[in-house]
Amino acid sequence: LNLNDESLNLGPDESRHLSKVLRKKVGEKIRVTNGHGLEWNGELIKIDSRKATAKKKEAVLHQNKILPLNIAIAPTKSNDRLEWFLEKATEIGVTEITPLVCDHSERKSIKPERINKILVAGLKQSVQYFLPKLNPMISFEEFMKSNHPQIKLLAHCQKSNRTPMHKLGNLNKEILIMIGPEGDFSNREIKAAVYNSFIEITLGVNRLRSETAGIVACSKVATIREISKTK
């Protein structure tokens, strides 16, 4: 889908969703995005459960003004819990997701096609125009060798001098937050991250599941950034 496309043909999945779930009719308006900033508004001229066609009314290419937030997380063993995290993190506004393989990881592979479908669902639900970037799964060791933003945070449950997120100061920059597996990061991994200038943080007094920690981290960053806009 491009800015200059005058018409749009939707495949069976989207057509079925429009006709059976949303109960759209000929003459009704739809809004479509390519996940890269395009907002394409059209009018349905044909619709059934197999194919829907719309003609363009207007199209806008939005500038990406979203502050980057990369969550590097060890995927949970449960698919349902992983997908819940992916969908909700997208709705909140995560911009990049990096699946990690850690010492205590129970899941060491993912299905990118399935994950992208979840990200798309979250994008549509929250009416956004930029799809989060899904990076290939990577080992903790290799990830440590990658280029990281200035603000890089490590959330873990071990006793140490961890800083609450609200005390970090200005978060209106690119941020990377690492979330460990269900057994948490190993002591070796924590030491390696600290050696690579990651700031140890706490997400609260309660011990959280991995996917919950990921959502709390996204939410806290979004809240802190919103508050800073009002000052």
Between the CA of residue 145 and those of 75, 138, 141, 195, what are the distances in Å? 20, 11, 7, 12
Helix or strand or coil: residue 7?
Answer: strand
Residue 89 and residue 96: Cα distance in Å, rounded? 10
Residue 166 and residue 169: Cα distance in Å, rounded? 7
- The total of other beta-carbon atoms located within 10 Å of residue 195's CB is 9
- Complete edge-to-edge strand list for the sheet that includes strand 29-32: 7-10, 52-61, 38-47, 29-32
- Residue 36 confidence class, pLDDT cut points 50, 70, 90: very high
- Residue 197 confidence class, pLDDT cut points 50, 70, 90: very high
pLDDT at 37 over 80: yes
Of 53, 56, 49, the C-alpha closest to 15 is: 49
- pLDDT score, position 230: 76
**pTM exceeds cut of 0.75:** yes
- Residue 83 confidence class, pLDDT cut points 50, 70, 90: very high
Residues 6+ apart with CB under 8 A from 151: 168, 171, 173, 174, 175, 176, 199
Are 54 and 24 in contact, with CB atoms under 8 Å apart?
Answer: no
- pLDDT score, position 169: 82
Of 196, 206, 186, the C-alpha closest to 152 is: 196
pLDDT at 122 over 90: yes
Question: How wide is the angle at C-alpha 48 spanned by C-alphas 45 and 54, nearest 5°?
Answer: 25
pLDDT at 47 over 90: yes
Q: Please give the structure tokens belonging to residue 118.
A: 């979840």
